């Protein structure tokens, strides 16, 4: 099993910075820069929302043209630069040009990311100021870089892992932001994961897509999808160690562990969240069907508010599963819950089977759902399909945060 740290010390060939450019009235860090000292093999996954933000459109273009020659990622907060028309695209390009000029690299090797309010234009004077500040501050302060991409997040999110190989050590590290507008395909968030391993663009793409499927595409806070979702992988090869068959499995395991750690951190920091819920659906006809059922339950306001209130209202869970438009036999369904993650079978409480509730102890069920971490397992039959989705409860604070987001 991969040991994942929640901090990042150093990744060979990469420098980062998080600075306060004046975009946030609080004076907190609001821009970040990640730079490689050499060209990277890059991969990216983007929102499936049709209303894609200008930085997403630009990055999709750059990835199609220069996936083997990316050097830097610049990120701003407070403004999503989404639904901003031709001016928004021009501003995204200018943001990349300013970064390239400040670093002395090709503009085509710069990717940009934005997060914040939809429909507002970038304050380009502050963006330019922030880029200059960031270039001058480049170093190994990954914590500052993680803070520089936060919006409603209450804490920075980072993760790293080291892989021991016969040729030496490979490092994988990443930062992410996200707290609200979180739903799969892909989850509403920004993320940059880097490694000093030698990868081809094809290897980078395969690694990111596989990891994304079990991490960022498996988290829910509120069921909304952003216009800006982006996760980028940069592999600069500074370690000189190529990922070949002898340790490909080790690399993939570590990469997925880092991605999953970052994704779970988003759910734990969900807007107003007080509980982390691991929801597993088993026994479906296939994995895709299981995922649909799990997502339906994970996004149900009734399910989420019941968890917030500490109410073991299992009926809401099975009812949500039943409206997922996935066929299964209701009489074959079983539902168990347990406090904590990865509990033993003896710790799980069976609440529903054979089409009706069991003679469970209500006080025990209530104690389980009042825990800060809860595991829910819903078996819908005996098929081979299964899926895990991570979600959280829905509290009064979520409404307060989003009721005044622009103010």
Cite the active site residues.
188
Helices (H), 163-298: 201-214, 248-268, 287-298
Please state, in angstroms and rounded to a whole number, the distance separating the CA atoms of residues 138 and 130: 12
Nearest CA-CA partner of 185 in 158, 220, 157: 220
CB 393 within 8 A of CB 304: yes
Q: Are 157 and 228 in contact (CB under 8 A)?
A: no
Beta bridge partners of 14: 36
Q: Please report how many Cα atoms fall inside a 13 Å half-sphere around the Cα of residue 379, on the Cβ side.
A: 15
Q: Which residues contact 269 (CB under 8 A, 6 or more apart)?
A: 153, 154, 155, 157, 178, 179
Residue 57 DSSP SS3: helix
Biggest distance spanned by C-alpha atoms of the chain: 70
**In this structure, what token pair is assigned to residue 407?**
């103010």
Sign for the CA dihedral angle at 152, 54, 30, 188 comes to positive
DSSP type of residue 174: E
Report the distance separating Cα 64 and Cα 278, nearest Å: 36
* Distance in Å from the first CA to the final CA of the chain: 45
Return the residue matching tokens 């940009």: 112
Please name every residue paired with 376 in a beta bridge, in sequence order, or none if there are none.
Answer: 279, 337
Among residues 144, 138, 172, which one has the least CA distance to residue 156? 144
Which helix (H) or strand (E) is 127 found in, with range? helix 124-137
Burial category of 391 from C-beta neighbours within 10 Å (exposed 0-12, middle 13-18, buried 19 and up): buried
């Amino acid at each position: 099993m991969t040991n994942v740290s929640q901090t990042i010390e150093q990744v060979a060939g990469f420098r980062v910075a998080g600075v306060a450019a004046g975009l946030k009235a609080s004076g907190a860090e609001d821009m970040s820069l990640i730079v490689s000292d050499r060209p990277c093999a890059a991969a990216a996954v983007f929102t499936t929302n049709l209303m894609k933000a200008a930085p997403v459109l630009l990055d999709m273009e750059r990835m199609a043209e220069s996936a083997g020659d990316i050097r830097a990622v610049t990120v701003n907060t407070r403004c999503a630069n989404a639904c901003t028309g031709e001016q928004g695209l021009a501003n995204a390009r200018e943001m990349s040009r300013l970064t390239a000029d400040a670093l002395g690299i090709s503009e085509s090797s710069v990717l940009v990311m934005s997060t914040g309010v939809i429909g507002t234009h970038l304050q380009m004077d502050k963006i330019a100021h922030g880029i200059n500040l960031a270039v001058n501050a480049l170093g190994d302060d990954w914590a500052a870089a993680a803070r520089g991409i936060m919006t409603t997040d209450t804490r920075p999110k980072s993760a790293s892992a080291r892989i021991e190989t016969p040729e030496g050590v490979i490092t994988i590290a990443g930062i992410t932001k996200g707290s609200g507008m979180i739903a799969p395909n892909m989850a509403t968030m920004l993320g940059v994961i880097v490694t000093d391993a030698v990868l081809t663009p094809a290897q980078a793409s395969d690694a990111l897509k596989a990891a994304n499927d079990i991490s960022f595409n498996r988290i829910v806070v509120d069921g909304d999808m952003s216009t800006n979702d982006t996760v980028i992988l940069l592999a600069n090869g500074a370690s000189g160690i190529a990922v070949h068959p002898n340790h490909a499995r080790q690399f993939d395991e570590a990469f997925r562990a880092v991605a999953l750690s970052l994704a779970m951190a988003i759910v734990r920091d969900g807007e107003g969240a007080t509980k982390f819920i691991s929801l597993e659906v088993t026994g479906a006809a296939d994995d895709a069907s299981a995922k649909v059922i799990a997502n339906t339950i994970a996004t149900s306001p009734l399910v989420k508010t019941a968890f917030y209130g500490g109410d073991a209202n299992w009926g809401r869970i099975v009812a949500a599963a039943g409206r997922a438009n996935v066929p299964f036999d209701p009489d074959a369904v079983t539902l168990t819950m347990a406090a904590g993650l990865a509990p033993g079978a003896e710790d799980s409480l069976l609440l529903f089977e054979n089409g009706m509730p069991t003679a469970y102890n209500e006080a025990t069920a209530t104690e389980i759902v009042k825990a800060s971490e809860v595991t829910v397992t819903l078996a819908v039959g005996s098929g081979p399909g299964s899926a895990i989705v991570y979600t959280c409860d829905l509290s009064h604070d979520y409404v307060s945060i989003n009721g005044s987001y622009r103010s």
